[in-house]
Amino acid sequence: MDVYNRYIYPRDGYAKQAIKRKVELDWGTEDSEYLQKVELHTEGTLNEVRPDIVVYNAGTDILDGDPLGGLSISPQGIVARDEIVFRAARRRGIPVLMVTSGGYQKKTARIIADSILNLHRQGLIGPEALEGEGSSAPQPIGSQSSVSVSSSEIERERSRALGSPECTGAGRGEERLFPV
């Protein structure tokens, strides 16, 4: 599944043919329409394909005002989008590998950090995500030697990252959900 601004991505017709579920958006698409399509197509994709893992490209160049993405998604919309993807995967017991990309505004790092903190508070990531799941719950890679991270450590890292100019990625106004 690939969600993107149809007017800027992908420019390669051959690459576009490889996308199994295209969710093409128009310039200026806002939260309501965007989140409805993300939820509908995430559910549809995960119902059609039972992947072992979801590789989720969580781009932030969809943010309103981004010079590349051309969409008008609010910071709250980005947080809600990430939660939709993680909840859908969790209901099915599918682990998620989230990578961030895109985002060409100074506030992008803060939005990513806020989303990750929200996922943690919602119990969708971190040790709490595995509680009550039973023995069949997916285990994180390296879980036998994993290190627990406290909320205060996440906040410290968030604060450090917000001051760092290299906290922006590269993308093309897209989010990808790839069954692997």
State pLDDT tens for residues 101-152.
Answer: 989 899 999 999 999 999 999 999 998 787 755 434 444 443 333 334 455 6
Cβ–Cβ < 8 Å for 22, 44: no
Instruction: For residue range 66-109, list pLDDT tens digits in order.
Output: 989 999 999 999 999 999 999 999 999 999 999 999 898 999 99
Residue among 141, 157, 64 nearest 105 (CA): 64
CA angle centred on 45, ends 119 and 84, rounded to 5°: 20
Q: Which of 120, 59, 62 is nearest to 86 (CA)?
A: 120
For residue 91, is it left (φ>0), alpha (ψ between -120 and 50) or beta?
alpha
Half-sphere exposure of 1 (CA within 13 A, CB side): 25
Whichever domain contains 60, its CATH number is 3.40.800.20
Give the whole-angstrom CA distance, residue 85 versus residue 98: 10
**Contact predicate 116/125, CB 8 Å:** yes
Within the chain, residue ranges assigned H as helices are 13-17, 31-48, 75-91, 108-121, 151-162
Residue 156: the pLDDT is: 61
pLDDT of 12 reads 84
Q: Is residue 25 part of a domain?
A: yes
pLDDT at 176 over 80: no
Confidence of residue 157 (pLDDT cuts 50, 70, 90): low
Residue range 14-70, pLDDT digits in tens: 888 899 999 999 999 999 999 999 999 999 999 999 999 999 999 999 999 998 999
- Residue 55 lies inside a defined structural domain of this protein: yes
- The domain of 71 spans 2-128+149-179
pLDDT given for residue 104 in this prediction: 86
Residue 134 within a domain:
no
144 in a structural domain: no
pLDDT of residue 154: 58
| Number of domain units in the chain | 1
